[in-house]
């Protein structure tokens, strides 16, 4: 059984082919790193996996169940969560409120427009537990606008973890972080238990390579190289893609 599989996935926007017959098989508990230069199709691949855009052909499977045409919200209920390259949070609300909203999306309470979120103690408790996992429980009641960029990144990861995902997709979690913030997020990701499968896009290879069991290199929407860290780093095609040699 694979935790996440992509089979011959293709996507074009007009005459621009952004994903070409991409195949991916991620084992349960694996840490998979997806790398590639700008325009390689990495975020598009994530959007196809999560259902935010539909493929032209091919299939996506979650624990051997085909989910290619399943709505994004239903994929979340099956155990898929993600973060985004560009942070999209509610700056005027508190950290806790943002985390609680992530949980509301999986609750039947989301259909009740009159629900008083602050009174849903079970959701609040779960949100606080998620924030504790990322080291933000002490500032849970702080407005998001008063936090650092690195703290916002951790809030987003907490929101994903709060949903108890089986497969977690991280889109450039180290983007824009200082050296100290990168260290904190790296240690946070190391602490995610192995019952969660992690697939991560990242440009900061020095930081991300240490976290990866296997690496997939995308270039112009195609898988060019795949293997262990040693295999991918040693492959001349990796040097060609990044250095043009």
Residue 243 lies inside a defined structural domain of this protein = yes
Residue 225 lies inside a defined structural domain of this protein = yes
Residue 241: the pLDDT is: 86
Tell me, what CATH number does 6's domain have?
3.40.50.300
* 66-115 pLDDT per residue, tens: 999 999 989 988 999 999 877 767 788 899 888 888 777 655 445 445 45
CB-count burial class (<10 Å; 0-12, 13-18, 19+) for 141: exposed
pTM assigned to the model: 0.88
187 and 159 within one domain = no
Mean pLDDT of 183-202: 92
* 26-45 pLDDT per residue, tens: 999 999 999 998 888 999 99
239 and 138 within one domain = no
Residue 100 lies inside a defined structural domain of this protein = yes
Domain of 74, in residue numbers: 1-79+165-245
Residue 244 lies inside a defined structural domain of this protein = yes
Residue 116: the pLDDT is: 55
228 and 155 within one domain = no
Q: What is the dihedral of CA 104, 152, 38, 10, to 10 degrees?
A: -10
Beta bridge partners of 176: none
The closest of 61, 4, 20 to 223, measured between CA atoms, is 20
Distance CA(170)–CA(161), nearest Å, equals: 11
59 and 14 within one domain = yes
Residue in this structure with the two tokens 């008083």, named with its chain if needed:
116
* 204-231 pLDDT per residue, tens: 777 777 889 999 999 999 999 999 989 9
Dihedral sign of CA atoms 22, 28, 32, 34 in order: positive
With contact defined as beta carbons under 8 Å apart, do 168 and 198 qualify? yes
Residue 87 lies inside a defined structural domain of this protein = no
Residue 126 lies inside a defined structural domain of this protein = yes
**How many domains does one find in the chain?**
2
Residue 86 lies inside a defined structural domain of this protein = no
Percent of the chain predicted with pLDDT > 90: 51
DSSP, collapsed to helix, strand or coil, labels residue 222 as strand
- The domain boundary residue, chosen from 164, 185, 211: 164
152 and 180 within one domain = no
The closest of 60, 74, 73 to 2, measured between CA atoms, is 60
Say if residue 144's pLDDT is above 80.
yes
- The domain boundary residue, chosen from 145, 164, 183: 164
- The domain boundary residue, chosen from 164, 199, 224: 164
Residue 85 lies inside a defined structural domain of this protein = no
């Amino acid at each position: 059984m694979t935790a996440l599989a992509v089979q011959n996935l293709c996507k074009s926007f007009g005459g621009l082919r952004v994903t070409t017959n991409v195949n991916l098989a991620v084992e349960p508990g694996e840490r998979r790193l997806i790398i590639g230069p700008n325009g390689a199709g990495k975020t598009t691949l994530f959007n196809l996996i999560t259902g935010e855009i539909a493929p032209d052909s091919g299939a996506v499977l979650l624990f051997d169940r085909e989910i290619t045409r399943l709505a994004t919200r239903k994929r979340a209920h099956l155990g898929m969560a993600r973060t985004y390259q560009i942070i999209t949070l509610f700056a005027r609300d508190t950290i806790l409120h943002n985390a609680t909203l992530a949980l509301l999306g999986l609750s039947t309470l989301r259909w009740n427009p009159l629900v008083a979120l602050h009174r849903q103690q079970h959701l609040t408790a779960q949100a606080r537990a998620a924030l504790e996992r990322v080291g933000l429980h002490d500032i849970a009641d702080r407005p998001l606008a008063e936090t650092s960029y690195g703290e916002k990144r951790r809030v987003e990861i907490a929101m994903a973890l709060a949903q108890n995902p089986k497969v977690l997709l991280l889109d450039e979690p180290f983007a824009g972080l200082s050296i100290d913030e990168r260290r904190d997020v790296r240690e946070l990701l190391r602490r995610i238990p192995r019952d969660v499968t992690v697939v991560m896009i990242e440009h900061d290879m020095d930081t991300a390579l240490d976290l990866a069991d296997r690496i997939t290199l995308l270039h112009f929407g195609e898988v060019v190289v795949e293997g262990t860290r040693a295999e991918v780093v040693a492959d001349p095609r990796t040097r060609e893609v990044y250095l043009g040699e």
